[in-house]
Structures are given as structure tokens and as C-alpha cells.
Amino acid sequence: MRVAVEERPPVSVEADAVVAGVFKGGELDPPAAELDAALGGALKALVAAGEIRGEPGEIAIYHTDGRLPARRVILVGLGPAGKLDGERVRQAAGSAARAARDRGCRRVALTLLGEGSPGGPEVAERARALVEGAWLGLYRFQAYKSKPDEKAVEELGVVAPAADVAAAVEEGRVLAEATCLARDLTNEPSNRMTPRLLAEAAARLAEDGRLEVEVFDERWMEQEGMGALLGVARGSQEPPRFIVLRYRSGRAGAPLLALVGKGLTFDSGGICIKPAEGMDEMKMDMAGGAAVIAAMRAIARLAPALDVVGLVPATENMPGGRAQKPGDVVRACNGKTIEVINTDAEGRLILADAVAYAARLGARWIVDIATLTGAVVIALGHQAAAVIGNDEGLIDAVRAAGALAGERFWPLPAYEEYKEQYKSNIADLKNVGGRPAGTITGALIIGEFVGEASWAHLDIAGVAWHDKDLPYRPAGATGFGVRTLVHLARGLAAGAAG
């Protein structure tokens, strides 16, 4: 799909559809009002006839019959005028783009929804949100359909002065493309996205020269002493991989940010096997790893002034004959021992080795992202990821980055007392802390391996996957976290410079 800036007024845009907004109560936004004037009040008449009231996500379509160069006007509901933010723009753009595609439109032009009304996001943010919303809303995963739906939007236009929006449009495109890459990796079934195939997908990203990718095998893990990762991998015939992606800013003395993603390509639970019902969804247990791989791609393109390393420990968790067993003790690469009480608490084991490795690389900040616990779904449902860490400043930076992306991160406390819950009788710690505060103890176990680094853990188990369509998140993998991680890298770079 091509994305272009259209430097002309909405009434002279040539397209299969031009999209404009309607606020709650039926007030047309300024671009819609311009179109309405050129159409002799036809759009106001649609509102008066009750075709659209301006509720978020509502759509009404007007055929121009040659009265404008655009064949259709698609009106989209924006909700209350005073509450228009970037996220609403993203949602409206997603709904409108999908409505256009469903009707066979190939060229779709988006006006700056809500532009010219008081309040709301500034022009550049609005333009970025438009492109993200439309691109993400148009996403489909059709790799295994013999008869894929061939309707496709080929050209997406943003109707605005290029000087104001060109950079933001390009940024939106890079961010949306990366998010869709993460969705693709996550939607792939586990027989098509093994650790080796995930590593190959990451390695392909190095081809454009802006990222360095290295892939390590079991022998390397043994040399590095990654007993916790190897312990999880034992139960599977598929060999594990440790994926390292590097973006170098080229600045002397630039601080290092490590992004660490859980790359569990299938989580059966291991010997503590999960129930059959819903087990298929555990192909998405590498969503954190996919988010890191995809974020690294976007970071390399947007080139912030800090160094970033992406680490993805990738393995299956299976109950094979050589699988680790409850009660086994493993040693992570920083020397700490872990008693494996429950083999289904495997994410913290592979992340223990990966964050310890990040600390050894000298990372100033370590941010890990993982579908870590079912408990986070109990705490926050599907509306927010949890964030836990050892540095309030970093947690605030994550939340601010999330706000730019329309991704919510809700903080949970890291009180010392929780650590009692995962004391082991025979090892340094055990891998579960019981049912109370399961998301917190899971996080704090990872935190035992970060050394002196500033650290934040993002539990995305409730938000990485949706069963039903949302405005710009079709059912399936959401790509949650990609855009936040990229904004975080840029925010930390700006903070470190200033």
C-alpha cells in the first residue's frame, strides 16, 4: 500500500473515497463541512436523516455522482468534540478504511479528522494517528486461505499540507508496518513459527543494513551458562535459539537500552501440561519476542540517538521425555539457581537468562515484554498491560510512550514483602510465588536477574491477542507494545541528551 500526502483541499481530491468526520450530536468537522458546502448540503442532510449521529466508529456513505472528483464521501463518527484524542483518530481512521475496502475502494484519502475544531491533538500527531489507524485497521492475516479476499486499498492519501505532516505520515507508516510485522509473526501457527523460523525472520531484517542480527544455538547457550533457558527447551525436539538484534546510533558514549521479549513459540505448559481447551492460543506466547523484533526494525529506521539491543530467547515448552520436571533446579547465566516448581511458569525462566545477559552487556535500561501470566487478565482484563519495575522514572517513561501509541500500561507495586513468596528451601529462589499477586511475583522473579540496571517489565498476556475485531485491531494478534517500545527508545534518547 502506498501512502502519500495530498496537498489540495478535500473538495478537489481524486479518490474512490474521501473520509471526513462527524462529532457526536451530528456536527460536521471542518473538512466535512467543506465537502458538504460543495455538495449543496447533502452531508448535513444525511445527518438530519439519522444516517449518522457521530458516535465513535459509526459510518455513513455518500455517493457524489460526479459532483466531486472523489466518488464517495465516507463520514465517520468521532464521538464528543471535546474528547477527540489521537486514539479516537486512530479508531475512526481504522473503521473508515475498513468500510472503504469492504466496498472495493482502492484509493482512499483521509482528511485530518476533527482538524480545525478547538482542542484535540496537533496536526502532526493527528496525521500519524490517521496513517496508523488506517494501516492497522486494514491488516489481515490470510496466509493460509486458499481464496484470500482480494479487495485491497492500494493508495492511502492524507489530505494536508506536506510541510506540516510529511514526517509524521512517514513515521506512522514505519510504526504501523512494524506493528503488522509483529502481528504476522504472532498469528503464524507454531508449526510455521518455530524458534528457528522466528530467528530466520529476524535475520531477514538485517538485510537492509540498518540492523545487525546474530542468532545463537544451544552450544552457545551452554557456553554462556543459560541453564534456565536450556531447562525449558529440554522438553522439545525443536532446538531453541537466542536472537540478538542491534541498532547502533553511531554516537560515542551513547547509553544502551535492552529490549527483551519472551519468544515462547508454543507453550503447552510442559510436564505441568495445560488443559486442551484454549491451548491453541498458546502459539501467541512469542508475542513479546515479536514485539521486540518488530520494534527493532522501526527503531533502526527512525534512528534515535541511543544504542538499542533486542534480545529474544526463543523456545517451545513441551513435555518430551527429557523435559524438565517439577522440583528440578536450574542455574541461570548470572549464577543464581532456580527451583522449577511449575514447568508452566517458563517465561520467567527464559527471561531470567535473557535479562541477565542484557545486564552483562551493560544496558542502562532493561525493558522486558512478555505474555507472562494469566493473572494479569484477571487483574486488568483486555484493556491494559501491567508494568512493574525498579525505577519509577522508567515506568513513567513507558506509560508516556504508551500514551503516544494508544497503548495502556497500568502500574502494579513491587513491594519487598512479595519476595517472600518465591523463597526456595533448596535454591536461591523458586519459579512461582503462589496465586496471590501472580503477575507481581512473576515480574519480581525476572527482576532478580537484572543486576544494577533500571528495569521495567511489561505483562501483555491480556492484550497481545483479541478474539473479536476492534476498530484498528482485527481479531488475532494485536502487535501490542511495538509502537510503545519505539516511542520509549526515542523518549529515553531525548531524555539522555537533554
289 near ligand BES, rule: CB under 6 A = no
Is 219 one of the annotated active-site residues of the chain? no
Least CB distance to ligand BES at residue 35 (A) = 45
* Short-list 139, 184, 183, CA closest to 474: 139
Stretch that binds ligand BES, among 138-146, 167-175, 369-377, 392-400 (CB under 6 A): 369-377
Binding mask 416-445 for ligand BES (x = CB under 6 A): ----------------x-----x-------
The residue annotated as part of the active site, out of 196, 274, 325, 364, is 274
Q: Report d(CA 448, CA 235) in Å as an integer.
A: 25
How many CA atoms within 13 Å lie on the side-chain side of 239? 13
Q: Report d(CA 259, CA 291) in Å as an integer.
A: 9
Exposed, middle or buried, 208 (CB in 10 Å: 0-12/13-18/19+)? exposed
371 near ligand BES, rule: CB under 6 A = yes
* 8-state DSSP, 275: P
| Binding residues for ligand BES restricted to 323-342, rule: CB under 6 A | 342
* 8-state DSSP, 266: E
Nearer to Mn ion by Cβ, of 57 and 326: the residue is 326
CB 263 within 8 A of CB 314: yes
Nearer to ligand BES by Cβ, of 210 and 325: the residue is 325
374 near ligand BES, rule: CB under 6 A = yes
Least CB distance to Mn ion at residue 78 (A) = 41
Nearer to ligand BES by Cβ, of 111 and 478: the residue is 478
Q: Report d(CA 249, CA 309) in Å as an integer.
A: 11
Binning the chain into helix, strand and coil, the percentages to the nearest 5 are 40, 20, 40
Which residue sits closest to Mn ion, CB atoms considered? 344
Among 236, 373, 421, 478, binds ligand BES (CB under 6 A): 373
Cell for 11? 473538495
Residue 117 contact partner, candidates Zn ion, Mn ion, ligand BES, none, CB within 5 to 8 A by sort of partner:
none
Q: Report d(CA 399, CA 378) in Å as an integer.
A: 21
Q: Which long-range contacts (CB under 8 A, 24 or more apart) does 377-381 make?
A: 377/461, 377/462, 379/412, 379/439, 380/410, 380/462, 381/462
| Binding residues for Zn ion restricted to 333-372, rule: CB under 5 A | 347
Is 322 one of the annotated active-site residues of the chain? no
285 near Zn ion, rule: CB under 5 A = yes
Nearer to ligand BES by Cβ, of 285 and 307: the residue is 285
Nearer to Zn ion by Cβ, of 399 and 430: the residue is 430
Site residue total, ligand BES (CB under 6 A): 14
The residue annotated as part of the active site, out of 101, 246, 348, 490, is 348
Among 87, 132, 184, 346, binds ligand BES (CB under 6 A): 346
Report how far apart, in Å, the C-alpha atoms of 334 and of each of 223, 225, 226, 353, 359 are. Answer: 12, 8, 8, 8, 9
268 near ligand BES, rule: CB under 6 A = no
461 near ligand BES, rule: CB under 6 A = yes
Nearer to Mn ion by Cβ, of 277 and 417: the residue is 277
Among 267, 353, 407, 459, binds Zn ion (CB under 5 A): 267
Q: Looking at the DSSP assignment, which residues form a beta bridge with residue 63? A: 72
Among 347, 406, 481, 491, binds ligand BES (CB under 6 A): 347
Q: Report d(CA 30, CA 33) in Å as an integer.
A: 5
Number of CB atoms found within 10 A of residue 50's CB: 9
Cell for 266? 508454543
Residue 362 contact partner, candidates Mn ion, Zn ion, ligand BES, none, CB within 5 to 8 A by sort of partner:
none
Least CB distance to ligand BES at residue 188 (A) = 16
Task: List contacts with Mn ion (CB under 5 A).
Answer: 267, 344, 346
Residue 115 contact partner, candidates Zn ion, ligand BES, Mn ion, none, CB within 5 to 8 A by sort of partner:
none
- Annotate 333-355 with DSSP letters as a single string: TTS-EEEES-TT--HHHHHHHHH
Nearer to ligand BES by Cβ, of 285 and 407: the residue is 285
Stretch that binds ligand BES, among 39-47, 66-74, 253-261, 366-374 (CB under 6 A): 366-374
Nearer to Mn ion by Cβ, of 87 and 344: the residue is 344
Number of CB atoms found within 10 A of residue 66's CB: 7
Indicate the helix (H) or strand (E) that contains 102. Answer: helix 86-102
Q: Are strands 337-340 and 429-430 parallel, antiparallel or unpaired?
A: parallel
Give the footprint of ligand BES on this chain (CB under 6 A).
267, 285, 342, 344-347, 371, 373-375, 432, 438, 461
Per CB under 5 A, residues contacting Zn ion are 264, 267, 285, 347
Catalytic sites, residue numbers:
274, 348
